[in-house]
Amino acid sequence: MAGDRKIGVAMDFSSCSKEALRWAAENLVRNGDHLILVNVQKEVYESGEVQLWEATGSRFVVVAALIPLSDMSDPTIAKKYGIKTDMEALDTLNTLARQKEVVIVMKIYWGDAREKICEAIDTIPLTCLVIGNRGLSKLKR
> Quick one: pLDDT at residue 78?
82
Torsion angle defined by CA atoms of residues 39, 41, 47 and 53, in that order, rounded to the nearest 10 degrees: 50
Query: What gap in Å lies between CA 92 and CA 29, rounded to an integer?
Result: 13
> What is the mean pLDDT of the segment spanning 23-52?
78
CB 2, CB 125: distance < 8 Å = no
Confidence tier at 35 by pLDDT (50, 70, 90): very high
- The helix/strand/coil state of 109 is strand
> What is the mean pLDDT of the segment spanning 115-133?
90
> Quick one: pLDDT at residue 77?
82
Query: What gap in Å lies between CA 23 and CA 56, rounded to an integer?
Result: 29
> Quick one: pLDDT at residue 49?
45
Confidence tier at 3 by pLDDT (50, 70, 90): low
- Residue 96's closest CA among 38, 6, 141, 29? 29
Domain boundaries 6-130, CATH class? alpha beta
Query: What gap in Å lies between CA 125 and CA 6, rounded to an integer?
Result: 7
> Quick one: pLDDT at residue 76?
86
- Which residues fall within 8 angstroms of residue 52, CB to CB, at 6 or more apart? none
Phi, psi of 137 (to 5 degrees): -80, 175
**Domains of the chain: which residue ranges?**
6-130
